[in-house]
Amino acid sequence: MAQVLSTGLEFLDHSNPNGNPCVKGYNIIDGELKQASGGSTFKSINPAWLDDCLGEFPLSGEEDVHEALRAARKAFAGWSTTPAPTRGQIIGNMGRLLMEHKDAIVAIETREIGKTLKESAGSVQEAIDTCLFFQSEGRRLYGQTVNSELPDKELFTYRRPLGVCGIINACNFPAAVPFWKMIPAIMCGNTCVWKSPQDAPLLSFALARIMHESGLPNGVINLVHGKGSGAGQHLVDAVDKGMVDKISFTGSTAVGKMIGEVCGRNLVSASLELGGKNPLVIMPSANMDNAVEGAYWAGFGTAGQRCTSLGNLIIHRDIYDEFMSKLMAKVESTTIGDSLRNEGVLYGPMLSEKYAVDFLKDLGMCETSGATKLYGKGRITNDNKPAGFLGDASEGVYMWPHVYANVTEDMECFHEEIFGPAITVVKANDFDHALYLANASPYGLSSAIYTNDRLEAYRFKTGIKAGMTGINNSTTGAEAHLPFGGVKGSGNGTRESGIWVIEAYSYWHAVNDELSGKLQLAQMDVEEIEIEEAEVDWTSLA
């Protein structure tokens, strides 16, 4: 840990047009700053200003991942026996350090992935809230005392840590999500190897240094950088080698299924938080202006790059025209740009060039499906930009907001997630039809309904197949003390956040403490209680 704390940031000889430094980043393994064993590196680039290099980081290979796993295994013995309240104290320290450095961390997140400052602040605050919540859970890692059916015997249950956890998170919430995973993991006594998102390595590096500064022992959290197909795959492959006791993954459903297969054949626990095609239903009784605001934010906040972003907007036919008129007016007035240089923007660039390429492919799917494009012209350029775009489009990776109407259940774009600023609009005949459509996609992450009919709200929340539901609210996620996760193609039933996540990072240990000094066998040595025959003629009372 000393080297992590005493070594100041190093800067590369690289001239950025905005004057910001280009940092030399490292893996953190057993408390030491390390480059990749093969010497390869990659750069983190600001998607709002492609000439702006944030840093150069190790392109980790199998040897680096295995070294981190060995460090985590070595640290497990000491950390798992550290009293849980002490672990909670260190987690509390992390939260306080995050608060102290919040503005700087928010600026890094906005510069590295293009989120607005307000959204980045929300992501970092979520990490802070997670720390403060789990600080006290260190004093509430409860087991139970259970009465025995035999005399002079005590029964207990305890929560025990799983071991070494592999942590892989996407880059769209690079502060909140890794803390959702690692804070409960280490609170339960596990150790971690964290593969940072390829598009957010500087923020991950900064967060890992804060974790160590909080008093975390060496090896409890180890950070490796690299590609998902490289370091990430090596971390998953290590499950087959017996080096990993848990994988926690946030990302695509296809990759999640692969990870689930690897973990399943090794009987290793997996937490899989995957994609979504989140439905939002608008009913005639809804407050129209509130519903428009909720749908607009759900679809286009974060440039649609949330797993909880709006997918299918399902509108009752009686209010379809009125609602769409108001929604399209907002869409056409959307302000887009770099939040670090422009105020009042709804969203910034795509997370990276890769996400931009994938998004354009998804738009092609909408058009080949036969949906009607109401708005949107692909990538924003200086020759192709909406009225609300601010700045020089050639500097970054920006996309128009897109709206596709006349979408039906038989279209591919009805079922497939579109990761970017685009929504698909579906018309419903009545409430039952709307609920059916909301359940018709293969995903089940988030969902929402706007209605002021209490029975409709009740029937929706009891009939929807989703991990989360908003009533008169958008499809976005939950607070730090509520469970987060999905069903169907959106996950395997595990949850992030709140007390429920503890189940994912611990197992129950039952202890049978025999005090009698002799062998007593449950079910076999239990004294039977004989039934006394009552002197009553029950038939005479009939």
Domain ranges (residues) in the chain: 2-274+496-505, 278-482
Give the pLDDT score at 6. 37
Give the pLDDT score at 13. 58
SS3 of 477-510:
CCCCCCCECCEECCECCCCECCHHHHHHHEEEEE
Is pLDDT at 7 greater than 70 in this prediction?
A: no
Q: Greater confidence, 170 or 541?
A: 170
Is pLDDT at 4 greater than 50 in this prediction?
A: no
Using CA atoms, how far apart are residues 392 and 382, in angstroms rounded to an integer?
A: 7
Q: Greater confidence, 203 or 533?
A: 203
Confidence grade of residue 90 (pLDDT, cut at 50, 70, 90) = very high
Max Cα distance, the chain (Å): 102
Least confident of 96-100, 421-425, 521-525: 521-525
Please tell me whether residue 518 adopts helix, strand or coil conformation: coil
Q: Which CATH number fits domain 278-482: 3.30.390.10, 3.30.70.2860, 3.40.50.170, 3.40.309.10?
A: 3.40.309.10
Is pLDDT at 15 greater than 80 in this prediction?
A: no
Task: Report, as an integer, the average pLDDT of 206-217.
Answer: 97
Residue tagged 């500064």 (tokens): 213
Q: Which residues are catalytically annotated?
A: 307
Residue tagged 């290793």 (tokens): 268
CATH of domain 2-274+496-505: 3.40.605.10
Q: What is the pLDDT of residues 313-323, one digit of tens each?
A: 999 999 999 99
Give the pLDDT score at 531. 82
Q: What is the pTM of this model?
A: 0.94
Helix 176-187 to helix 117-137 angle (10° resolution) is 10
Residue tagged 């026996």 (tokens): 81
Give the pLDDT score at 232. 98
Using CA atoms, how far apart are residues 464 and 444, in angstroms rounded to an integer?
A: 9
Mean pLDDT of the chain: 95
